[in-house]
């Protein structure tokens, strides 16, 4: 995950059975939400899309 506010990067383990709609940056404490058109914060701020999108399915 890369915070768009402070550019802090942290490796996170993506859940495979649920979407993450919120994420708090460990560095600046910004509360991130998915960008318009994305289903979760991993799709918006991660280096790869979430597992359902990778599999070609609809997101949660």
Report domain extents, the chain: 1-47
pTM of the model: 0.81
Per-residue pLDDT tens for 9-52? 999 998 877 788 999 999 999 999 999 999 899 999 999 888 88
Read off the pLDDT band of 60 (50, 70, 90). Answer: low
Answer for the pair 42, 33: CB distance below 8 angstroms, yes or no: no
What lies within 8 Å, CB to CB, of 29 at 6+ separation is none
Q: What is the pLDDT of residue 43?
A: 92
- Give the CA distances from residue 35 to residues 21, 46, 51, in Å, rounded to whole numbers and listed in that order: 10, 12, 17
Read off the pLDDT band of 55 (50, 70, 90). Answer: confident
């Amino acid at each position: 995950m890369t915070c768009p506010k402070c550019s802090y990067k942290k490796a996170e383990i993506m859940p495979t059975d649920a979407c993450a709609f919120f994420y708090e940056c460990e560095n600046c404490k910004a509360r991130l939400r998915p960008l318009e058109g994305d289903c979760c914060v991993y799709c918006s701020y991660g280096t790869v899309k979430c597992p359902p999108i990778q599999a070609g399915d609809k997101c949660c």
